[in-house]
Amino acid sequence: MRFPMRSSPWIPFLLFFLSSSVTAFQFRMPRLSPIGEKFLYHSKALELPPSDDFKTFYYNQTIDHFNYRPESYTTFPQRYIINFKHWGGANSSAPILAYLGAEAPIDAAMNGIGFMTDNAVKFNALLVYIEHRYYGKSIPFGSRKEALRNASTLGFFNSAQAIADYAAILIHVKKEFNAKYSPVIVIGGSYGGMLATWFRLKYPHVALGALASSAPILYFDDITPQNGYYAVVTKDFREVSQTCYETIRESWSEIEAVASQPNGLSILDKEFKTCSPLRSSTQLENYLWSMYASASQYNHPPRYPVTRICGAIDRTYSGNGTVSKIAAGVFAYRGKLSCYINEPRNATETDVGWQWQRCSEMVMPISTDNDTMFPPHTFDLESFIIYCNRLYGVPPRPHWVTTYYGGHDIHLILQRFASNIIFSNGLKDPYSIGGVLHNISDSLPAVYTTNGSHCLDILSANKMDPEWLVTQRKMEMKALQLSCLQSNQVNHFTGFNVVLMVSG
């Protein structure tokens, strides 16, 4: 089947339009990011500028690592950031901890990914943060407009090129700072955790090991049941409050019933204090769908957004019954605002970039069924192909991730040749259902916490952190620390057999 290339000027417009409009199609595919919405965090660290310890560099990166056509040698400046503060130096063979940037500018990682800075002094480590191509300041073809022009320029925007970028930069860093014998440990969360896993598998000569936090590497090609994500969301809410779960489950038909009345949308506008009038009940439903997913995925202490939502729902008895209860949950989740839902919003880099990545290779089939608190919603691959083709003129490759990186029979396959990857998860995270949750070998452990959430283990430590989280981080750090005590660049981890499930 041939797909015509879309005319170039419309790609940015279409991306803006589709990411700004609330469509059921888009918002029922949950976001991937180590760091959730900023209002979910108790710490103001995310809002602070990075310290002077972080130094910015640019590497002259090759646009296409896998072709020898003349145009493949085109280069672009790729940003990476180094923190030398605690590095023991090349002579001590002190390790390099490399954070692999994901679907966002790298700026938030310096303050947000606290596992790096919190443990740098214990490792005497050099910290390196590498920005993913097409995000932040790592833009090919001279400008964002040109890079996003059409599928021909976007075609170099994929995970294989990204991890090849990381390999080139890490080899360059080791050479530039005479760190030949400094072992490299790559760290990533969410999509970045997938990249860390795949990097260790594809570039074992560059990275001695990897910490892959909340990496749903098995949510492709129907390895994981399609309803797995929302089944966990439902479980999270139901465990907090059975009545809250029942209210949410019943609310979808109640919202439809109100919307069908004369002036029904106006009633919903008033009830939910919308920032602009609803055009349909679907807009409201999509917002709620996304809110519940995000609250569950980023159900971090001490705010625990699922508990906040359910507490407000269960305490509310007045107004329009179920609808008033759901509105109270929205207000509790977001905090005090002048209006909610349909807020003015421009597309972010992540909106634009992840739209392409999802429409090319990151095809994660996520659905709901009658066993969840959501209405049934089936992922239809054919509709998805049509949707992406209308956007870009090229279809997605839904089987490419498992073809290139593997995934099927992962325990059997990785047991045969892989080593030195820590798969960490929190079972409250809906994406954990697509992660590695069982030890594959002593050097491929699955470290998880019963009450953990998305990428919580690699975020900044806080004095209010529960003991089970503190213990999880200590176990991960110990495993990595023991590996760095091995002979230089010996690809064998010791101490992994002590890493078990953390209670809590």
Catalytic residues, by residue number, are 190, 429, 454
Give phi and psi for 148, each to the nearest 5: -95, 10
Round to whole Å and give the CA distance between 209 and 194.
13
> The tokens of 450 are what?
């019963």
Residue 457, judged by CB atoms within 10 A of its CB (0-12, 13-18, 19+), counts as buried
DSSP type of residue 60: E
Radius of gyration of the chain (CA): 23
Evaluate the omega torsion of the peptide bond into residue 77 and state whether it is cis, within 30 degrees of 0. no
Q: Which residue has the tokens 């057999």?
A: 497
Give the DSSP letter string of 457-468: GGSPP-TT--HH
Length of the chain: 504
| CB-based contacts of 186, cutoff 8 Å, min separation 6 | 98, 99, 100, 166, 196, 199, 200, 207, 209, 210, 211
> The tokens of 19 are what?
């990411």
Reading across the β-sheet that carries 54-62, which strands appear in turn? 54-62, 75-83, 126-130, 96-100, 184-189, 209-213, 421-426, 446-449
| CB-based contacts of 65, cutoff 8 Å, min separation 6 | 160, 161, 164, 165, 168
What's the gap between Cα 430 and its chain centre?
A: 12
Give me the helices (H) in 361-500, please. Answer: 381-392, 400-404, 410-417, 467-484
| CB-based contacts of 68, cutoff 8 Å, min separation 6 | none
DSSP type of residue 1: -
Q: Which residue has the tokens 């110990």?
A: 478
Q: Please say whether the beta carbons of 75 and 62 come within 8 A.
A: yes
Q: Please say whether the beta carbons of 302 and 369 come within 8 A.
A: no
Round to whole Å and give the CA distance between 425 and 193.
11
Q: Which residue has the tokens 């998305």?
A: 454
* Amino acid code (one letter) for 347: A
Dihedral angle at the C-alpha atoms of 149, 351, 101, 447, nearest 10 degrees? -140
> The tokens of 429 are what?
């995270």
> The tokens of 420 are what?
């030195």
